[in-house]
Amino acid sequence: MGKVAVGAAVVCAAAVCAAAALVVRHRMRSSGKWARAMAVLREFEEKCSTPIGKLKQVADAMTVEMHAGLASEGGSKLKMLISYVDNLPTGDEKGLFYALDLGGTNFRVLRVQLGGKSGRVVKQEFDEVSIPPHLMIGSSEALFDFIAAALAKFVAEEGEGFHPAPGRQRELGFTFSFPVRQLSISSGTLIKWTKGFNIQDTVGQDVVAELTRAMERIGLDMRVAALVNDTIGTLAGGRYTNQDVVAAVILGTGTNAAYVERAHAIPKWHGLLPKSGEMVINMEWGNFRSSHLPLTEYDQGLDVESLNPGEQIFEKMISGMYLGDIVRRVLCKMAEEAEFFGDTVPPKLKVPFILRTPDMSAMHHDTSPDLKVVASKLKDILEISNTSLKTRKTIVELCDIVATRGARLSAAGILGILKKLGRDTVKDGEKQKSVIALDGGLYEHYTKFRSSMEKTLKELLGEEVAASILIEHSNDGSGIGAALLAASHSQYLEVEEP
């Protein structure tokens, strides 16, 4: 072989060696980055850990806070609001009742004809109305006039099969899902608007009086029999179909719980004890917090940057508004510290709340072999394309960590309520059933969240007790539940009772 050929071979071999070294360095660099990304994920997973022992501590803390909130106003982070609902539906209710459900940019009006034990809900109709944006920031009178006009139009369309009893005033259940200081079953003052409403002259006013005046201005003869929130509506709807319902939980965009308490177990109640001996308590459990909650740096970051720092800590760990953003925050850290998505951090990944919980749920439930749902969500929402299957599998795992923690904490909260009611054990010879009515989009649509929560509750209770506890989906509590509460608090009840 000539000198030139030898030289060329040497140069060629050197080039191959250099290229191979570059590949090795790139692989080492890649595996180093991957190891860093995995370290971020494993540390997060460890901090989110919810062993049964910890969940029992959370449940005990919930029970302690419930006692404190019932003892005195401001005695706990849990408000434990007295709802003045002391009669839940029994199934005997008869007649025509209306409901108005105002909880966001739309409201619903609903009517039901109740037929007592045999007929139950004979017939129902509803209509949905959008609130024009200018009315959400205008005057109180303008908003309630608009609502009353829609209600009057709906009443005017009362058709075949809907019969008000002769000579009786129509009665309405009003679901008002904004913070209210309840004064009686049919009155309450607005503490503050949320969800994009900002009408200053309503704050501090009785919302039932505002609606009543608006109905009077247009000659609509209707009485508000009950003012409730959506959680209490869910409890009423659940109790109507099943007398063993003792509590209701909403797991949706936000979260809350309500339950039936013995009236004499409420030290802060100074009124006459109700005849039923019971009182529904609106816990406002989203505001629960405890040193036992597995909080991470990502939860703290979300809280600090939220509209209500330091508030609703439990809600920020378990509800639909926030789960997707916790996933985004962890991915952001993996991108910043370990180049998880390449050399630069994808700009969209830095946008708060861009990744919504329904998108997280779709990725979590992806069963395609190449995880194409995950790929399309990353591309469409975060503008991240060309991800490896390994990367997509890691994202599914992250969704699982966040959803599982939220689901298990929800189960611990439910155990806290059962403990307060003394229903977390089985007494000899007793066959009592305890039913929890559940509603909300997170519970209804996020299958893995729901099954994890139900499985965890069984684990916490043990087999014997779990057999006596049921979870039932109580759909549309905020609508039909309000109409049922109008029926169970009707002004004509006394007249009918023997």
List the domain boundaries for the chain.
51-80+243-475, 84-228
pLDDT of residue 197: 87
Beta-bridge partner residues of 250:
256, 439
The residues of the chain scoring below 70 in pLDDT are 1-30, 119, 429, 476-477, 494-498
pLDDT of residue 497: 47
Q: Of the listed 76, 86, 108, 186, which one is catalytic?
A: 108
Question: CA angle, corner 443, sides to 468 and 100, nearest 5?
Answer: 100
Place of tokens 């990744």: 355
Task: Pick 84-228's CATH classification: 3.40.50.300, 1.10.10.10, 3.30.70.20, 3.30.420.40.
Answer: 3.30.420.40
266 CB contacts (<8 Å, ≥6 apart)? 70, 82, 279, 281
Domain 51-80+243-475, CATH? 3.40.367.20
Question: CA angle, corner 448, sides to 39 and 293, nearest 5?
Answer: 55
What are the start-end ranges of the H helices in 72-161? 116-119, 140-156
E strand intervals along 357-433: none
Beta-bridge partner residues of 280:
260
Can 51-80+243-475 and 84-228 be said to share one CATH topology? no
Give the span between the Cα atoms of 469 and 463, in whole angstroms. 10
- The identity of residue 217, as a single letter, is R
Residue 218, SS3 per DSSP: coil
pTM (predicted TM-score): 0.88
pLDDT of residue 498: 42
Q: Of the listed 177, 186, 290, 361, which one is catalytic?
A: 177
Specify whether the CB–CB gap between 211 and 144 falls below 8 A.
yes
Active site residue 42: no
Q: Of the listed 86, 101, 230, 299, which one is catalytic?
A: 230
Give the span between the Cα atoms of 282 and 203, in whole angstroms. 21
Residue 258 tokens, joined: 């309500």
pLDDT of residue 307: 81
Active site residue 488: no
pLDDT of residue 411: 98
Active site residue 177: yes
Give the span between the Cα atoms of 265 and 287, in whole angstroms. 22
Give the span between the Cα atoms of 146 and 217, in whole angstroms. 11
Classify 168 in phi/psi space as left (phi over 0), alpha (psi -120 to 50) or beta.
beta
pLDDT of residue 494: 60
In the chain, what is the straight-line distance between the N-terminal and C-terminal CA atoms, in Å?
119
